[in-house]
Structure formats: structure tokens, C-alpha cells
Structure 1
Amino acid sequence: MQNAFRSAVQQSLCKISETHLDSIETAAEKLLATLPAAYSIYHPLLLIPSTILERAAWNRLLLGYVIPDQSNNLAHFDLGPFFVQVAEATSTTHVAINSPIPTHNEPHAPDTDSSQVPFNAAADITSTNILRSPTNLIPLHGDFGPPLPSFPNHIPSENDFEKAFWVSTTQNGIKQTWAPRYTMFSKGNVTEKARLLTLPSVQNLQHKPWTALDLFSGIGYFAFSYARAGAARVLCWDLNPWSTEGLRRGAVRNGWELTCQVSCLLRVERSSDAED
């Protein structure tokens, strides 16, 4: 049985003219034959794996669309109608290429208009990506929210949160919420999340109040499992404001009461003329 993504692409290839396909030396049949089978849907988002850019035909087609100024002079072609139909056929509203989380943030060139950069804005200076920000996400269709510098160069406001695009999924009966342009999500730890629900050490505490502490809690990957397992209180801490906002929204969706306290840890340096 053909998967939903492949079926959607097959239905939508008619939106790309043969003239354009000829200009990049490919054809609809070649695109369909080299389409990755894997994909993920976190409603209302369709995520395409980054391996699609390793397929020559798709690489030529997509690079001319998402980054025409860096596409080796490939002709730019508006693939908007194509992705609109792909989104409709998969019952989604947004489409993006999901790439591995980079280990470092890379700055934009000084003369680059960040509003035209398809990738999520990175830090103003090259630095270790300690927040595990998905700066290599490539939006293809839909409004994912404005490009923003990474924390701590920019502390997101309530207005930033409202303008962002949020998605959700349910694992082990627990709802999780995040903004894919600013926050990572790993579906691979679903087994570990389930294991936490039945840990003997957790089961032995069912008859008395107990507290769980989750450092670097993210959007609630494991904190929510402890809450579902019966913890009277779960204390969470994280560096990434986008993750804590996702955790807050997820807790609300799960029907849990919560108290949020946001604080910034700043390094205080003594001036050179300060007394010892």
C-alpha cells in the first residue's frame, strides 16, 4: 500500500511544469522514483527527512526554491502550488524539511536579510548549540513564525510565542506541544517515556506523595511521564524559553495545574577597578 506522503507527491507533481523539470534535467517519474519513503506528521505539520536533499533530482528542484541565491545558478521556480496540494493531500497546513540538530550555531552574514533566510535564525555569534535549537529546519510551506536570534541574544516575548507556529502529538496517552522552528522534538525516546510509567521505584511510591525533579526538562519529555505516573509534584528546569513555553502549553493540554517561574542566570563580572 502506497504511503500517504508518496501518494500526495504523486498527485501534486502536475503542479510543476515539464519545462521547469527539463531545465533542471529531471522528470516527474525520476522525482517519484527517488522520493524518500520516510516522513512524519505532527498535526498540522508534515516533516520530510533531510535525505531528500541527497537525491540529485530533488536537490536541484528544492535548492532553486528555498535558497535561490545559493543554488548554483539553478532556475528559481515557485513550488508554492505544489506544496499547497501536498499539504492538502496529507491533511496538513505546513511542510518542512527536518534536518539533524547542529552542534553549533552559525551567524548570518552581516549583509544578509534574515527575513529572507529559509532556515531558522541562529545566534549572533558562533557558539555551541547548547539549546539544541533546530536551526537547520527548512520551511517549505506555511508560516512558521518570524526568524529570531537564539536565546540569550533574544529573550522571546509573549508576542513571539503568539506569532509562533505550534504543533502537538500524543505519545503513551500524553500530549506534548512545541514550536518546530525554535524547539527540537525527538520521537525516538517514546519507549523510555513508557518505561518511566512502570518503573518499580515509581510503582512503590503510589501510596504516598512523591516529587520528581527534571533538569533540562525540555517540553516535558520525561516530566510528563512522571506526572502521569502519579507524582504529586514535578519540578522542571530548562535553559530554553521556547521549551518551557511548550512545557507550559503541554501541561495545560493534559489538564495539569502548573506554576511557572522564569528567571535568567547572568554572569556577573567584577569591574577591573573593583576592590578585592
Structure 2
Amino acid sequence: MVLRPDETPLSTAEFRLSVVVPRIHVKIVKTALEQRALLDKTSKILPETSLSNDNEHASKEHPVRMVLPTTIRVSKPTEERLVEDLDYDLVKADLLRRLGFGMGEDIVGKTVSIVETPVSQSTVSPLPNAVLKALSDAVKALPEELLFSLHLDPSALIDAFPTTYSTYSPMLLLPSHAFSSTPWTKLITALEADSPQLQAIWKRLASSVGKSHVAINAAIPLKSHGSPNMPSLEKENILRSPTHLTPLYGADWGPYPTLSSMALPTGKDLGETLWVWAKQNGIYQTWAPRYTMFSRGNVKEKARLLQILARPGRDVERDSTAVDLYAGIGYFSFSYKQSGIRKVLCWELNPWSIEGLHRGAAFNGWSTQAITSFSASQMASVKDVDFLVFQQDNKFAPEAVTALREGGIVPPIRHVNCGLLPSSRDSWGVAVQLIDTQLGGWIHAHENVGIGEMERRREEVVDWVQQELDGREEKAATSTASRRLQVECEHVERVKTYAPGVMHVVFDLRVEGRGEASGA
């Protein structure tokens, strides 16, 4: 902004800069703003159309864009003597640099735009949620001499704290970047973890949302240190254990995770650990947060599965079986059962997840049975059980299902869920072996896919599964007079953003059985 030399200073008005991005990038950009204390927490994140009178509906060509308010302010003249306006390209470039996004190849940077909105001088918005209000009270109660010695102001701690959090009774879970800013790093480094000052803060936060425990989250580690009993853990954290979760406040969290207690927990380990619960789509799920991950973002896919039998002509599937090859604590297994499917077979390696599945099923009024052998006595006892749970590699699923079919224990398998990320490809061959060949069914394959690669990956998945089906027919020496099993991709569901430019999707692969008419 430049004035002519001979002019007096202009009267000005203050404006706030906001970042506008497609909805799929909101989480990434919001986190980047929070980490740098640039997110204005006194204002809501709103759709772009709420700032104008444009009533055009979002579509594929015009996706919903969201406005994220920042703490960046600019002053502009209120009179028309302005010679040069604000250079938004420079502002955008500077902001993207500060956030760690690029203007060129970075897919987030390409979609960002900058808008300005007036800042009201007459009103001050209240803090946006109960946790921030409690935090404000807590940091203002810190000793003045402590804050002075660290050159800290309470407002700096409040502004640097994220607005997002999760509650899973009885726990408040804070995001991993909650204390990564400079003000919080100074404070926490200067105090002991169990200091009265920090404990007083955590207590207020917990009380503000009616919880008794507080923890800070962390990413699920990709590697694990391994176990003498499960050496494969040395290469990959196949149990998906959240070993970096850090308890901050509350009693009875249970024993600290060890290699032994993660892979082979005792009854005492299971009994003395904190278990939390959540209710999504009317279904309860429970897990031990020190030992088991929970994916809140899968709620959309869970809801979709609840409607899987609601379409016309699908009632016949109620007398069928669903198989979940990566069952966890029952993320998708419970939705299959709630939708009306009679029996669900679950494969899972993590004993803590299996315990959560048993507890969660009981919470919902369903019966479960752990399967360790296929003796006649055990098979007879599970005929009326809702969930059969196998703690073994899912590559053994065909053998188990064969025994159950021969014993008349399970109705036809119409749905197989392959819910592992980043790729469930290793389980597709197993899924093909399980689908009922007479009635047909669906394989639900979870994948991470680049936004521009959807159609190509869709074709690849169909071709791969068709080859597996053809191979199954050849091994079974099926008569050439029999109609060839066919697969098509009936639907691609975009579940959520996994990373910049990458979506978690589910390919619904329809396998047409021999005993049904096409499209039945």
C-alpha cells in the first residue's frame, strides 16, 4: 500500500485475512495454521458461500470450499486515495511459505486463495469451546513470577492452543501438536510432568468436558521393536498399537505397554488398564487407548454399511454372513451386524483389539466366541453366536470357513471387508475364495488413492479380482458349461482425506454368482 508523497495519512480500517481451500484440505491447512498460532480461534470455519449471496450448489466441478480465519491483520484506507492495493499474490506466497506449502507442485498450495473480511472494533468473540475457556482460566491462575521468568503472557498460551479435541469417556484426548508451539514448549520444559501447576491445568481441562482423564495423541508408529513371540513386529507395526499416546492426567491408566503385554497380555493386564468408549451411529465401541488405536474418521463408512441392506431387493442378504478380515475392535463388523446380517466372522491379530471387540459386542447386546480349534464340540456351541473371532493371520480364513461350512455353522458369505490401509491388496485373493459362488456378493476393498488416479485404480482393482476369480474356477475344475463368475466395481466411496492429494476410498466390487440373474 503506497501513498502519494504530498498526501496526508488516510483513515484506515482493519481487515482479517482468511485462507480459502476445498473441504478435503481443511484439516491439513487448519493444523498448519494452529501449529504456527495463525488460526483465529474466535471465529468459525464457514463455507465460502456464507460470505456471499451466491447460492450455487457444490458439485464435482465446483466443490465446497471453506474459509479458515487467520490472525493476520491488514489495514486499508477507507478513502479512495489508494494508489496501490494489497498484493495478494505476495501475501499468498508468504503465507504458504510460513505454512510449509508450495505454490507450484504442492496440491494444497495450488488450491489456496486469500480473502479479506472486516474486523469488528466493537465486539470481542467468546472463546469457541469449553476446553479453551477452562484453559484460559487455568493459565491465568499460574503464578505471575513463573510466567515472568519465562517471558510468557497467558494470552500467548491460549492463542497457541488448538481448538480441536476428542472426548471418549472418561478421557479427553488432545491432538499431537497441542504443545508444540514455542510458548507451551517453554512452560512444559520448565516444569516437571507431575508438577502442581501442570496438573491443575489438566484437571481444569478434564472437568470442563466432564471427564476424569487427559492424554495427548500421537501418530500410530509404522515400526515396532518386535517380540520374541511375534518376530514379524520387528518389520512393521501390524498390531497398529498407539505406543506414543501420552497420559497427562488421571489415575488407573494401567501398566505401561511392554512388548510382552502388547503381544501376550495377561488377565491382570486387561483388567487393570483404562478402557474408554464412544458411541457412533447408535453403536458402542470400546478400547484401551494405551494399547489400541481408534479411527474417528471412519464414522462415514460405518454409517454407509448400516444402510447396506436397506436398498430394494436386499432383504435376502439378512440370512447371510459377513467376513471382516481386519476386524480391529469391531469398526465395521458391528455395522454389518446392526444392518441385519445374521453372522459375522472376524480376523484380528491384536489381542487388545480382540478384547475390545468382545467388550464392545457385549455392550451392544451381541454374543461373541473366540475360535481356537474346529472340534465338533466347539463348532456345535457357536451355531447361534453373533460374532466368531479368530486370532490368526487372515490367510488362514479359507480353511476356517471351509470347516464352518461343512459343519453347517454359517450361512452363505455375501460380504467380505478388506479394511486395511494403505492397501488391502494382500487380502483380495482370500476374499475371492470366501464369497459364495452361487449367490455372489461384495468385496469391499479399502485403498489409499491419489485424487487423479481414481479411474485407473478402479480398472486395476477390477482386473486383478477378475483374474483371481478365473484362477479360482480353474483350480476347482469348474465345468465349462457353468457361467463364468464376473466382477464389476459397483461403487467407489470416498471416505476421507488421508494425506495431501490422497483419499481413503472403498471399492465396492460386485461378484455375480452363478445362481442369480445379472443385476439381481
The TM-score by the shorter chain falls in which range?
Answer: 0.7 to 0.9
The structure-2 alpha-carbon separation of the partners of 1:16 and 1:177, relative to structure 1 and needing over 3 Å to count, comes to same
Partner Cα separation in structure 2 for residue 45 and residue 214 of structure 1: 28
Question: What SS is found at the alignment partner of 1:51?
Answer: coil
Distance 1:64 1:200 in 2: 57
- Equivalent runs, 1:36-115 vs 2, <5 Å: 36-65=162-191, 78-105=197-224
Structure 1 residue 66 displacement after superposition: 6.7
Instruction: Note the aligned Cα RMSD (angstroms).
Output: 2.7
Displacement of 1:152 in angstroms is 7.8
Task: Work out whether residues 105 and 127 of structure 1, in 8 Å CA contact, stay in contact via their aligned partners in 2.
Answer: yes
Answer yes or no: is the 8 Å Cα contact 2:276–2:289 preserved in 1.
yes
Shift of 1:63: 4.3
Q: Measured at CA, do residues 185 and 127 of structure 1 come closer, stay the same or move farther in structure 2, by a change above 3 Å?
A: same
SS in 2 for 1:79: helix
The structure having more radius of gyration, on CA atoms, is: 2
Deviations 1:105-144 (A, max 9, x none): 359xxxxxxxxxxxxxxx9x85421111111111110132
Give, in whole Å, the separation in 2 of the partners of 1:64 and 1:126.
36
Measured after TM superposition, the shift of residue 18 of structure 1 is 2.4
Of 224, 227, 244, which aligns to 2:337?
227
Change (3 A) 1:170 1:228: same
Cα 1:159–1:15 change in 2 (3 A) is: farther
The count of residues paired between Structure 1 and Structure 2 equals 243
CA apart distance, 1:22: 3.0
For residues 190-248 of structure 1, what are the alpha-carbon distances to aligned partners after superposition, in whole Å with 9 as ceiling and x for unaligned?
11111111226987442351111111200000000000011111011111000000111
Moved more, 242-251 or 193-202: 193-202
1:45 deviates by 0.7
- 2:249 equivalent to 1:141: yes
Alignment partner of 1:206 is 2:315: yes
Equivalent in the alignment of 1:164: 273
**For 1:147 and 1:258, how far apart are their aligned partners in 2?**
28
For the pair 1:155 / 2:274, whether they are aligned, the reply is no
Paired letter, 1:12: A
Distance 1:261 1:147 in 2: 29
1:22 is paired with a residue whose SS is helix
Q: Residues of 1 paired with 2:216 and 2:242: CA distance?
A: 11
Say if 1:167 and 1:180, in contact at 8 Å, map to a contact too.
yes
Change (3 A) 1:261 1:151: farther
Question: How far, CA to CA, are the matches of 2:219 and 2:225 in structure 1?
Answer: 14
Deviation at 1:99, TM superposition (A): 1.2
Q: Does 1:4 align with 2:130?
A: yes
1:62 deviates by: 3.0
Contact 2:152 2:183 in 1 (8 A): yes
Cα distance in 2 between the residues matched to 1:261 and 1:23: 61
- Give structure 1 stretches of 5+ with no counterpart: 69-75, 108-122, 267-276
How many Å separate the matches in 2 of 1:66 and 1:236? Answer: 44
Secondary structure of 1:81's match?
helix
Distance 1:184 1:153, change over 3 A: closer
**Structure with greater strand percent:** 2
Q: 1:29 aligns with which of 140, 155, 178?
A: 155
Question: Aligned residue for 2:385?
Answer: none
Please state how far the C-alpha of 1:13 moved relative to its aligned partner: 1.9
Aligned partner of 1:128 among 217, 221, 236: 236
User: Shift in Å at residue 59 of structure 1?
Assistant: 2.1
CA deviation vs aligned residue, 1:35-54 (integer Å, no higher than 9, x gap): 11111111111111112233
| 1:19 is the counterpart of 2:128 | no
Taking every aligned residue pair, what percent have the same amino acid on both sides? 41
1:195 matched to which residue of 2? 304
Q: Which residue of 2 aligns with 1:115?
A: none
Alpha-carbon contact 2:349-2:392 (below 8 Å) kept:
no
SS of 1:6 mapped into structure 2: helix
What is the alpha-carbon distance in structure 2 between the residues aligned to residue 33 and residue 95 of structure 1? 20
TM-score (norm 2): 0.43
Query: What is the rounded CA distance, in whole Å, between the counterparts of 1:151 and 1:224 in structure 2?
Result: 29
Mark the CA change 1:173 to 1:161 in structure 2 (over 3 Å): closer, same or farther.
Answer: same
Q: Provide the TM-score with structure 1 as the length reference.
A: 0.79
Following the alignment from structure 2 to structure 1, what is the Cα–Cα distance between the partners of residues 173 and 262? 28
3-state SS, counterpart of residue 196 of structure 1:
helix
Q: Once structures 1 and 2 are overlaid, which stretch shifts more, 92-101 or 79-88?
A: 79-88
Contact 2:261 2:269 in 1 (8 A): no
